[in-house]
Amino acid sequence: MADEFRPEHIIVTGGAGFIGSNFVHWVVDHQPGVHVTVLDALTYAGNRENLAGIPEDRMTFVHGDICDAALLDEIVPGADAIVHFAAESHNDNSIADPTPFVRTNVEGTYQLLEAARKHGVRFHHISTDEVYGDLALDDPARFTEETPYRPSSPYSSTKASSDMLARAWFRTYGVPVTISNCSNNYGPRQHIEKFIPRQITNILCGIRPKLYGDGLNVRDWIHTEDHSSAVWAILTRGVPGETYLIGADGERNNIDVLRAILERMGKGADDFDWVRDRPGHDRRYAIDSTKLRRELGWQPAHTDFAEGLDDTIAWYRDNEDWWRPAKEAVEARYAAQGQ
């Protein structure tokens, strides 16, 4: 373990999105001496309301683009670290139009790395387990930090590209970079195009949920608060140049997750419709987070998936004003794709 890094001012890119905003709330709640500057372009996936309730003296919000080098030159000096969440992240959208994924995930990461290099700032890069491709359903193996990259979609290939840039900026320029690859997050404030909130909000709207393919695709779920605590552990105690996988032993196939949601919302186990599978749909993701736990002493707190699901359902039920305005457009886009 490296000497502990104690930042007083961090920049969080994509801090108005799902995982980023939950991280900002976590930092404000758990690290009283830290000021957060949020940089977010407020695309469809970013929502200023995600940061509601954070005291003004703890956070500065900057509406801007991570590809804007001049803006980065204004806001990065004086910061101790950049925590880079900003990304285009929806597989279906990347298949329909890869262009914004290349711009945000590749060019945006490049501009941030250059800003970190120029101004002597630590850099933590948030990535995904999807860069490793997928595993067979009957394969006992899990992804580790040594797993070769085999991205399947335009989304995952752009995230793989950004990981490689981060590693190169560490090796070539000495930028103090750490990388984390995480499994699927769930919890409050997740955009309703994603699997769990889409099912929950469909039921709340009286729409039958929809399930891709045979429903046996496995995802490794982690509560977003556990992801936040892991990112902080890596930022402050991780070794520059190292990659850490974040996971909470939460493997479940999609049909089991959907049926758990249906049961908790008073519906029958078969109250959903099958739809054609996504092109190139990865079969199974599974994270081995041994390195993170052994070297940095991190452990997940939200280990009861059913309890976490209940809390997530309650959040969407109680915050209809947050998601309802986007629901019609999301479902129209899925319908146009036959999903």
Which of 155, 186, 244, 285 is an active site residue?
155
Among candidates 158, 169, 147, 180, which has minimal Cα distance to 246?
180
Cβ-Cβ contacts under 8 Å for 337 (sequence gap 6 or more)? 92, 96
Distance between CA atoms of 73 and 216, rounded to whole angstroms?
A: 47
Examine the residue annotation and report whether 8 is marked as an active-site residue of this protein: no
**Token match 């599978």: residue?**
277
Distance between CA atoms of 279 and 196, rounded to whole angstroms?
A: 20
Examine the residue annotation and report whether 110 is marked as an active-site residue of this protein: no
Examine the residue annotation and report whether 225 is marked as an active-site residue of this protein: no
Q: For the packed helices 195-204 and 305-318, what is the interaxial angle rounded to 10 degrees?
A: 50
Distance between CA atoms of 129 and 139, rounded to whole angstroms?
A: 16
Which of 40, 65, 114, 130 is an active site residue?
130
Distances (CA, A) of 241 to 24, 122, 163, 174, 334: 24, 11, 11, 9, 40
Which of 129, 134, 225, 226 is an active site residue?
129
Residue 325's CB is within 10 A of a number of other CB atoms, namely 10
Residue 23 belongs to what H/E stretch?
helix 18-30
Catalytic residue numbers?
Answer: 129-130, 155
